[in-house]
Structure 1
């Protein structure tokens, strides 16, 4: 180990202090929401809950699991996330693998046309009219098909295929009589599990948190995702607070709404929080891969 100067030590101390402060800023809202979800609603509304729970209660979670809308939204979100992620992954691989091949004529022009769509799009109204003409309004496919491919994720996958998998391996497979599809399935995909995990994380989180497309395209409540019901709960809670507390029954409704609001936030984000630690190393690797898109 070389001797470190005083300036280096001070710089390291500053970095660690900045990271510690950043961790506090990021983690405190999560801890507060978790504590508020199991605290007495009266204590939360009086501002007595800062970090640790106060007046332990499960009333928010009990109301959630008695609410048929929440359970319906949860099931719908799981279905939309699983189906949407599978389609996203298949479409991204189908686009990225040919663009990574040196023997594809015009791949630069195709890539440029795809990148163009990242900066210019048809807009909300033309997209809505297209979805309507395709007969996908008020259906699951209106939430999945318009976002079936992410150009940014395709570029990340293409860069991984180019840089992480030697092209000589694909040539060797071709010499042995393997088709392009066989090369993809037998050679490329087994060696691309890290980037596949990154894509699963990117797409699944996007589908899980999506609500705007559902707000535009869905009209039946039995097809709403969880995020729309969460939005309704938050809006209703704000309206109740604005109207003020009247009689005792209204006050109780406001208190229960406050507990439900925090509990729903915890329940809605729990699957993503459980998934991320297992894919964190792949997430970091995917970000590094996407830093160079040449």
Structure 2
């Protein structure tokens, strides 16, 4: 607010409504986070009965102990890190050069190629043709089946192209070319160092997507040793649901055993959610400065 300017009654009402809306949005986002953290260290019986709805009750760290003792979870964790690092590197290696080329006005046919890219945003071959293609390329049950089909996002290419067009002056490129700089050297030595905001934004978008991805692994991977963490977590959820559904049609001792397993699975589930989320949350503060700059791409020009 500008100092010395008196607010009208409508301005005050608008400000109060804004604060109320922001506070409500904060509660909507904050409550699930607190619930997951509390459920991961609470007695699973109290969580399942609904007695624990905000703060932890019957505190236990058995879920985290089981997570750290489970070799499948650690294997999935390592696979997810590998898929995320390799996949994000490939994503950036494809997206940034393509976006820069499409941003150059002297690139003949850029509108034609951009039109072809745009078509893929609305039309796709479908799951079966894609699977047959991956199979014919002998990529089934390999890391390449996870990272190559999603090597580039057309939307991210458009965002990166907008950054190159609006944030990098053409005069800089012309001066470099007059000095004898080749296109490759111009891109590597000048464009990329000046493009840290968009690189950070693309790395964050692709990295989070690769970290949370499980469907491609579900379709293309056959060995449990190659499953990412998200697929391991999915198996835990399936185990919990199966145990809960099958306990009603069995004798009391068997049902009790299955219920116990379901409670343990629920406890591990919440612990794994925390373990799987912490790395992404920990990385974000280091990219926040660039991310804030990147999300404003094209909004202010000058």
TM-score range, shorter chain: over 0.9
After superposition, the Cα gap between the structure-2 partners of 1:264 and 1:91, relative to the gap in structure 1 and judged at 3 Å, is: same
1:45 aligns with 2:48: yes
Whether the 8 Å contact between 2:103 and 2:164 is mirrored in structure 1 is yes
Give distance in 1, aligned partners of 2:286 and 2:22. Answer: 22
Kindly tell me the number of residue pairs found equivalent between the two proteins: 292
| 1:91 equivalenced with 2:99 (yes/no) | no
CA contact (8 A) 1:156 1:286 kept: no
Alignment of 1:167-186 (within 5 A): 167-186=170-189
Over residues 237-263 of structure 1, what are the superposed CA-to-partner deviations in whole Å (9 max), with x where a residue is unaligned?
Answer: 112122237435444322211211111
Q: 2:270 aligns with which of 232, 248, 262?
A: 262
Moved more, 244-253 or 82-91: 244-253
For residue 160 of structure 1, the aligned residue among 160, 163, 183 is 163
Mapped to 1, the partners of 2:231 and 2:299 lie a distance apart of: 34
Distance, in Å, in 2 between the alignment partners of 1:94 and 1:126 is 28
Q: Is the 8 A contact 1:84 1:148 kept in 2?
A: yes
Superposition misfits of 4+ residues, deviation over 6 angstroms: none
Distance 2:100 2:286 in 1: 26
The answer for unaligned runs of 5 or more in structure 1 is none
Number of the residue aligned with 2:287: 279
Residues 37 and 60 in structure 1, CA contact (< 8 A), matched pair in contact too? yes
Unaligned runs of at least 5 residues, structure 2: none
Cα distance between partner residues in 2 of 1:112 and 1:284: 29
Cα-to-partner distance string for 1:135-155 (whole Å, 9 max, x where unaligned):
000110001111101111111
CA distance in 1, matches of 2:164, 2:171: 12
Does residue 1:219 correspond to 2:222, yes or no? Answer: yes
| Matched residue, 2:296 | 288
Partner of 1:26: 29
Per mean C-alpha deviation after superposition, the further-off stretch among 283-292 and 158-167 is: 283-292
| Contact kept? 1:97, 1:161, Cα under 8 Å | yes
1:113 aligns with 2:146: no
TM value normalised by structure 2: 0.93
Show the counterpart of 2:261.
253
Paired position in structure 2 for 1:77: 80
Q: Report the alpha carbon displacement of residue 25 of structure 1 after superposing the two structures with TM.
A: 0.4
Q: Distance in 2 between matches of 1:14 and 1:283?
A: 28
TM-score of the superposed pair, with normalisation by structure 1: 0.95
CA RMSD of aligned residues (A): 1.5
